[in-house]
Amino acid sequence: MPIIKPFKAVRPTEKLADKVAALPYDVMNSEEARELVKDNPYSFLHVDKAEIDLDENINIYDKKVYERARENLYSMIEKKTMIEDNRPYLYIYRQIMNNKVQTGIVGCAAINDYINNVIKKHEHTRAEKEQDRINHVDYCNANTGPIFLTYKHKDEIDNIIKDWTQNNKPVYDFEAEDGISHIVWVIDNEEKIKKITSLFKEIDYLYIADGHHRCASAVKVGLKRREQNKDYKGNEEFNFFLAVMFPDKELSVMDYNRVVKDLNGLSSDEFINKVRDKFEISSYEEEGQFRPSKKHTFGMFLDNRWYKLTAKEGIFDEKDPVDRLDVSILQNNLLHPILGIQDPRKDNRIDFIGGIRGLKELERRVNKGMKVAFSMYPTTIDDLMAIADAGKVMPPKSTWFEPKLRSGLFIHKLD
C-alpha cells in the first residue's frame, strides 16, 4: 500500500523550463558540466553540481560546494526563475525519445515505505555516494532530483493520465538539446488527486528503477529531521521524498555492454578455446555488429571480428532470478574464471558502455586500446522486479534506463 502525496512544487517559469532542466548530476563529471552551462546561467546544474561555480581544483565534496548549491537554488527562487505552487498538486511528466513514450505521475513517496520495503530495491549503495547527496539535500533543504520508480501498471491510473493529458494544456512542452521531448501537466483537480492517491494504495509495491543513492540519501535526511524534531507527527514534508512513478509496461531497459583491456595473459586462440567450455561460439558473418535478440546470447568483438556466444545448458540456475541474468552468466562463466575480473565494480580492466551509445562504440573502444567487447541482451523490467521481490541484489551495471529524468523541473522543499 504505497503512499503517494501531492506537494507544492518549486518549478521553473514556463518560458525558462527548457533552460533550467538539466541531466542528472551523476551522468557527467565536473568538466563536462562546466562546458554544458557556459552559455546558460539558468541551468539546474548550478544547483546539482555547484562545484562548477567554484575553483576548478575544489574537492567536489567540500562544504563550500553544498553551500553554493543552496545559495544558487534560493537565488533562482528569489529571482523568480523558479516559483512555488500555491497548493499541493500531483503532476504528469511525459518523455518522448525516438517515438517511444513514457508517462509518469510526479508526487512524493513516503520514507516509511522505503524503510518497510514497500518501495523495493535491487542495488547496494556506496556510503560515500550516499553522503554526498545527504549533504546536498540537507543543505538545500529540498529534494532536487526525482527518484525514478516503477509499478505494475493499473488500468485505472492509465485512464486518468490519458484523460488528463488529452483534455488539459501542458505547462511545459519542449525538446531538449539531445532531441528528447519533455512535457508536464499539473493535476490541480482535488477529486482526481484523491482518486490517484487512493489507486496507488491498491498497488502492492513500488520499485526503484534508477536512483538508489538519491533515494537512500533522501530517506536518511528525513530520519535526521525526525531526530531533530522529536515531536514530529508524520505528515511533515521531511517524511516524504520526490519521485516519478512510471507504469512498468511503458519502460524499457537498454543493454549495458562490457569492454575489457586484455585477455589475462591468454592469446586469442587460447581465450576462445576456454570460452567454448561454457558457450557455443560462431562467427558472425553478416555486415555490422552482433546485437543479441534473445536472452542468454552475447556478441563478442575480438581481433576486428564479431562472434555470437550462446550459453550452454546447465551453466546457470534458471530458478534463481540473479543467476539467470545475462550479466551474471557472463560474469560467472567468462569474465571472472577466464579473464580474472573478480569484482567488476573495482577492477580497472573492465569498463561499461550504455546501450544509448550503440555497438559502434564497442568497436571504437577496442580499436583504441581495449582488447575485447561484449554486447548484451537488455535486462528486463520483469527481471528487476523478480530480483527485488526475492530480496536479492542485481550485479553491478545490469540496467541502463533511457531517457534520463531531467532535474530542475520539480523541487520538493522539506519544510
- Tell me how many domains the chain contains: 2
By three-state DSSP, how is residue 157 classified? helix
Q: What is the pLDDT of residue 222?
A: 97
pLDDT classification of 140: cutoffs 50, 70, 90: very high
The CATH number covering residue 330 comes to 3.30.1760
**Over the chain, what is the mean pLDDT?**
95
Verify that 189 and 42 share a domain, yes or no.
yes
Whether 392 is in a domain gets the answer no
The pTM of the full predicted model, rounded to 2 decimals, is 0.91
**pLDDT single digits (tens) 252-280:** 889 999 999 999 999 999 999 999 999 99
Whether 382 is in a domain gets the answer no
Verify that 97 and 167 share a domain, yes or no.
yes
**pLDDT single digits (tens) 86-139:** 999 999 999 999 999 999 999 999 999 999 999 999 988 888 889 999 999 999
Q: What is the pLDDT of residue 397?
A: 86
Verify that 146 and 71 share a domain, yes or no.
yes
Q: Which ranges of 90-154 does DSSP label H, i.e. alpha helix?
A: 111-115, 127-140
Q: What is the pLDDT of residue 127?
A: 85
Whether 241 is in a domain gets the answer yes
- What lies within 8 Å, CB to CB, of 174 at 6+ separation is 17, 18, 21, 181, 182
Whether 131 is in a domain gets the answer yes
The CA distances from residue 235 to 6, 108, 157, 239, 379, in Å, are 12, 12, 24, 7, 37
Q: How many C-beta atoms surround the C-beta of residue 41 within 10 A?
A: 12
| Size (the chain), residues | 415
Give the structural domain span for 31: 4-252+402-413
Whether 393 is in a domain gets the answer no
**pLDDT single digits (tens) 60-77:** 999 999 999 999 999 999
Whether 365 is in a domain gets the answer yes
- The span from the CA of 222 to the CA of 219, in Å, is 5
Q: What is the pLDDT of residue 370?
A: 97
Peptide bond into 403 cis (omega under 30): yes
Q: What angle do CA 88, 233, 150 make, to 5 degrees?
A: 50
Whether 93 is in a domain gets the answer yes
**Structural contact between residues 121 and 388, judged by C-beta atoms closer than 8 angstroms:** yes
Verify that 331 and 215 share a domain, yes or no.
no
Verify that 278 and 339 share a domain, yes or no.
yes
Verify that 108 and 157 share a domain, yes or no.
yes
